[in-house]
Amino acid sequence: MALNRNTGLALGFGIGIVIAAVFFGTSWMMKNGGNLLKTQALQNTTPSVIPTTKPIQQIVTAPATPTADTNDTILNRMAPSQDEVINDIQNNLQELYGSNKTE
């Protein structure tokens, strides 16, 4: 029974060491010896011919800006008209003091 347990532990550690060696060895090869994993085309160090390009020059025309209305402000948009203000004042006075009756 003890022989089987020791054999299992030895095999487990051995397999673990092999897996770790393969993993860390591959990682080290990719970092330090990366040119071993590249193809011959990627190892070519002579610069290739880069074509010269001419920049595209387009004339951009901006649309004419409309003339700004100086009376068009957020306060003017939110403010009520003069007729509405007068009607509200008259209605409020009517509610407070009643109708204009002379008795």
pLDDT tens for the chain, 103 residues: list them: 567 888 888 999 999 999 999 999 888 887 876 665 555 555 556 666 677 777 778 787 877 777 766 677 777 778 888 898 999 998 888 888 876 655 4
Residue 20, pLDDT score? 95
What pLDDT, in 10s, does the model give residues 69-96? 667 777 777 888 889 899 999 888 888 8
Residue 29, pLDDT score? 80
Distance CA 66, CA 80 (A): 26
Residue 21, pLDDT score? 94
Rg of the chain over Cα atoms, rounded to whole angstroms, equals 45
